[in-house]
Chain A
Amino acid sequence: MPMTRFSALAVAGATALGLVFSAAAEARDLTVVSWGGAYQDAQKKVYFQPFEKTTGIKLIEDSWNGGVGTLRAKVEGGATDWDVVQVEAEELVLGCEEGLFEPMEWEAIGGEDAFIKPAVHECGVGTIVWTTGLSYDADKLGDNPPKSWADFFDTKTWPGKRSLRKGPKYALEFALLADGVEPDKIYEVLATEEGVDRAFKKLDTIKGDMVWWEAGAQPVQLLAAGDVVMTSAYNGRVSAANVNENRNFKIVWPGSIYSVDSWVILRDSPNKEQALKFIAFTSEPEHQKDLPPLVPYGVTNKGSSELIDPTVLKDVPTAPENLEVAFELDTEFWVENIEALNTRFNAWVAQ
């Protein structure tokens, strides 16, 4: 069959290339990959540079934009020039099932009990907690601020455009919250066909007022430009806009959804031992406590929060009063349903 010969050739070519690269990669330094931008700059100050200084291990930085497809190509192409990668919850679940990561050796990092529960996984160690919440400009809505997702759908009291992340993820959860579903019942309801219908019906009520954002930088720009009156946004971006651009954006913590980003070690990493040392270093409270003052993400070691200044802590997702009113994104649900619901979402927007 010409097809098999064809793919055999492709495999041969890829292997040859892989050999070239892996030979070059054998004696390389520990490479840590994060999400770039202001966040990685902060990581550099708090984790990367002190780690190099303390342990004498040389560390190379890289950054990426997510997607388990990228990791699969790295690992299966035989050209793993990355060792430690910060991944989102979904990539953690998918990549772990596909065997792209080394199983985590928890004893080397201080044991599972030292961490908050959502940070513990067989393939990864949670490093930050970030939130997607309702955000608005207090300079414009300061007199009568929105307090819940129900207010987000109330176009009479707060006329104007609104914005959510493009796609079904988060949009369906927020619609159900606005429709009166209790936070702990959201995914139970979404798992049924009627629940999905109910969420889309709720979204129907503001369909004409919607702007859908794509990149994490967009929602704060939309707010700043006055394009929308309310939007869902990542808490880190909101705080950054307040600090760097002197804005007065607020986050409504009740009904916000948090998620955990984790460190993983890519399969067959030649620097596994150093990688574990690095993860252990970044998991210690005395190092974690320095991150929230620079970027307002929550940290995952149980001992970290009490070391953080209370004025900083109030803008962080893991502050007890913020955590209490929020709930965790159900990664398992989305891994299973994202394709079907994304199709449904696109059929819905095209109607």
Chain B
Amino acid sequence: MTASLASATPLPGGTVLRRQLKRAERRRKLGAAMLVAPLFLFLLVFFVLPIGSMLIKSFDNSEMRQAMPQAAQAMRDWAGEGVPPEPVVAAVAQGMRASFKDRSLASFAKRLNYEDAGWRSFIFATARKLPEKPEGSWLATLVEIDPRWEDPGTWAAIKRASAELTDYYLLTAVDLKRDAQNAIVGVQADQAIYLDILGRTFWIAGMVTLACLLLAYPLAYKLATLPPRTANLLMILVLLPFWTSLLVRTGAWVVLLQREGLLNQALQWLGLTSEPLQLVYNRFGVYVAMIHILLPFMILPLYSVMRGIPPVYMRAAALLGARPSLAFVRVYLPLTMPGVGAGCMLVFIMALGYYITPALVGGASDQMLSYFVAFFTIQTVNWGMAASLGSLLLVSTLLLYWVYARLVGIDRMRLG
């Protein structure tokens, strides 16, 4: 109000007034910023920073540098052909001996063990036997302990472990590796699993989303057209599972679907099957449990969008001569698209990260990417691998989101 007044009528004291206005404006902005600050800080400290530092771990290669800084430096300076010269070998041998003593060798041995199982015991066995001073050269001493120290491949692997950064984890996450010549090649068939698992993850999430949409659309329509009192009552039934723990719901599905469970008994009693069917611990069980858990996330956005569509539109279409099916396709369906988009996006992205449900009701070949993230984080403490698989999932999800935003438009999405 005052701003428009000031610009409309130039007063003698105009510049002073403008300055005062600006100051007031700035104060308001500062106030607004202060109000957002706690949330912003919260997001920064508990969301952006941890995720960022986790992502950095996917190319972190500091194990050797921390365990034996001099040896890592010597290896980095070495050109990397064949077996390194004596001073470099000496630095590595002394580094191993020292870090074995102060208990920092484990991370280095573990890092090398990722390249090839067997390295861990190889490094530890060597470090345990290393003398304080070599008899003859350090190389001869090492070779006497284990002939593998003569192999240029051994030194090439240590050279890779000494670099500032590594692409090992990210390559492994897409079934690639570096060979002895440092060229990027595919891993052998019985080690190539992650692309398949990524594909499986997207496939399961896609199927769950599709099924949720097909189930939720008519239900949301029914809810939206009922009188509010009945609709609210039915809505409680939709929301009820929401308030139940995810583990309990997953457990309940096991009870229902197991071999002598309720569903199998019902099917046999009705004479539809003569033998109990395998309904759980396979892909079917994963689908059923995930669809059940994620269904409300599809119903709610659809419902809220459908509530906002005036019934007169459909009546108008009918008056203009459209058959019900045509009116639905041309009028109603396009109007619900923001809800469909929001629901699909929500369900799909949540389904991508599912871990505990497939772990409990799925078979060994129904595990999704998060299962492996958990495996590496908790079981083997290979955080580099966990981080790179996490990055793989994050990047492919963002990519998909970007494609979606490009094709459909984010402004066409409505959560309610």
Taking Cβ atoms with an 8 Å cutoff, the residues of A that contact B are 3, 6-7, 9-10, 13, 66-70, 72, 94, 97-99, 161, 166, 210-212, 214-215, 218, 221, 225-227, 332, 335-350
Contacts and interface: CB of A to CB of B under 8 A. Distances in A.
- Candidate in B56, B106, B191, B278 with the most chain A CB atoms within 10 angstroms: B106
A262 B359 CA distance: 27
A97 B50 CA distance: 26
B281 A347 contact: no
B121 A336 contact: yes
Given A72-B381, A225-B259, A225-B260, A346 B117 contact: no
Contact of B117 (A69, A210, A211, A340): A340
Interface string B25-59: 00000000000000000000100011011001000
Contact of A339 (B105, B117, B192, B258): B117
B69 interface: no
Interface in B106-144: 106-107, 109, 113-114, 117-118, 120-121
Contacts of B118: 336-337
19 contacts: A6-B53, A7-B53, A7-B56, A13-B45, A67-B379, A68-B379, A69-B379, A70-B378, A98-B106, A98-B107, A99-B103, A166-B364, A211-B363, A212-B363, A218-B360, A225-B258, A336-B121, A343-B191, A344-B190
Interface of B: 45, 49-50, 52-53, 56, 103-107, 109, 113-114, 117-118, 120-121, 189-193, 196-197, 200, 254, 258-261, 278, 280-281, 359-360, 363-365, 367, 372, 375-383, 385
A67 B374 CA distance: 10
Ranked 5 nearest A-B pairs via Cβ: A97-B106, A67-B378, A340-B117, A349-B364, A99-B103
Contacts, number: 115
Q: Is the interface of B mostly helix, strand, loop or mixed?
A: helix
A166 to B, nearest CB: 5
Given A69-B378, A227-B258, A212 B281 contact: yes
A86 B196 CA distance: 37
A335 B53 contact: no
Contacts of A341: 117
Contacts of B381: 68-69, 72, 94
Given A99-B104, A347-B191, A339 B382 contact: yes
Contacts of A99: 103-104, 106
B261 A225 contact: yes
B56 A336 contact: no
Given A6-B52, A339-B382, 13 more contacts: A3-B56, A6-B53, A67-B378, A69-B383, A94-B381, A210-B364, A212-B363, A226-B259, A227-B260, A336-B121, A346-B193, A350-B193, A350-B200
